[in-house]
Amino acid sequence: MKTPLLQFTEKGIYCQQANVYLDPWKKVDNALITHGHADHSRWGHKKYITQHDNVPIIKHRLGAIEATGVNYNEKIIINNVTFSFHPAGHIPGSSQIRVAHKGDVWVFTGDYKLHPDGLSVPYEPVKCNSFITECTFGLPAFKWRPQQEVFNDINEWWKTNKAEGKTSVLFGYSLGKAQRLIKNLDTSIGTIYTHAAVENLNEVIRPHFSLPDTVRITADTDKKAIAGNIIIAPPSAHGTPWLRRFAPFVTATASGWMAFRGARRRRAVDRGFVLSDHCDWNELLTAIKETGCEKVITTHGYTDVFSKYLQTLGYDARTEQTQYEGENAETNEENEVTS
């Protein structure tokens, strides 16, 4: 049997013909990277190739690495295999990777969402025969409301807290979710303060994406000035002495998992907003249909259930084990790679 164009090996998704890996989880020579979250861009590869906007992000996170930036839709040909990066709409600088060889076309999504978030370059469907997709929220129980409705709720929440003399603390992963929140907040309500982990990434992202003004919280920040305003912090700041000094405050988390009542209660935040950078059920099905693919490989999330359902729709669907954070996301809720 002919070797498939992409194989799942213990180091990652491998293209033998070109000798490159896509989002490998073990050290390799050549890595094509979809986006900057920790489970997709790991440390220790010799060469990194990724979309331009993602270069400063992974350099910020991984330090001195050899990284080359390419444009969306730009073709890179390695030993007759054509690679190209296409917008995934997940976070700033995120891509799907198209791999084509002699008429066989594969697309690896990394993480993605279909609805525009007002910040990252929106998802574009790419035609292919084989579609390697995440399905973090691949259950019919997940259906996102339009982003504007969610932000109306968030802004309303901020206003109410302010009226009650309380500071709003909104948790979101420092890469991606935090900037999406910042971009869509109603700054006529007040000032956006940021945790250092968030602000560091804001600085990396600002040259390529326009973000509203934010104020970095430092040791010298006047606590009284913050009162009634909003703080954007990573989930790990929850319950820390760092946060406690800004009392009185109200906390909230923005994540897809907040769709579940149990998950909301488990986080012990005052409020949960259902806001995800991943596809919901209908988006996943739409995306798959638009690629025109026959084969689907699910990598992380509710993979078994989702691929079984795809089979009933007539797709040649299966699951491959990867080390992307899928079901195990729940084991480390602070790690909001998947939210």
Report d(CA 119, CA 108) in Å as an integer: 22
Min. distance of Cβ 287 from another protein in angstroms? 18
Give the number of residues written for the chain: 339
Four-CA torsion 38, 41, 46, 49, nearest 10 degrees: -150
Min. distance of Cβ 48 from another protein in angstroms? 29
Min. distance of Cβ 263 from another protein in angstroms? 6
Rg of the chain over Cα atoms, rounded to whole angstroms, equals: 20
> How many Cβ atoms are within 10 Å of 270's Cβ, its own excluded?
16
Nearer to another protein, 2 or 244 (CB): 244
Nearer to another protein, 55 or 169 (CB): 169
> How many Cβ atoms are within 10 Å of 81's Cβ, its own excluded?
20
> Which tokens go with 128?
């292919």
Angle at 198 between CA 194 and CA 201, to 5 degrees: 130
Q: Reduce the DSSP state of residue 54 to 3 states and report it.
A: helix
Report d(CA 261, CA 153) in Å as an integer: 17
Q: Which residues make up the interface to another protein (CB under 8 A)?
A: 139-143, 257, 259-266, 268-272, 302, 305, 308-309, 312, 327-328, 330-333
Write the secondary structure of 79-91 as one string of H (helix), E (strand) and C (coil): CCEEEEEEECCCC
> How many Cβ atoms are within 10 Å of 74's Cβ, its own excluded?
12
Min. distance of Cβ 202 from another protein in angstroms? 29
CB neighbour class for 65 (10 Å; exposed up to 12, middle 13-18, buried from 19): middle
Cis peptide bond upstream of 116, omega within 30: no
Nearer to another protein, 5 or 317 (CB): 317
Q: Cα dist. 146→116, 160, 183, 195, 258 in Å?
A: 10, 22, 16, 27, 15
Min. distance of Cβ 309 from another protein in angstroms? 6
Nearer to another protein, 46 or 266 (CB): 266
Nearer to another protein, 193 or 273 (CB): 273
Nearer to another protein, 57 or 258 (CB): 258
Nearer to another protein, 59 or 308 (CB): 308
Nearer to another protein, 62 or 252 (CB): 252
Min. distance of Cβ 138 from another protein in angstroms? 10
Min. distance of Cβ 23 from another protein in angstroms? 20
Min. distance of Cβ 268 from another protein in angstroms? 6
- Among candidates 26, 33, 29, which has minimal Cα distance to 18? 29
Which H or E run contains 304?
helix 303-312
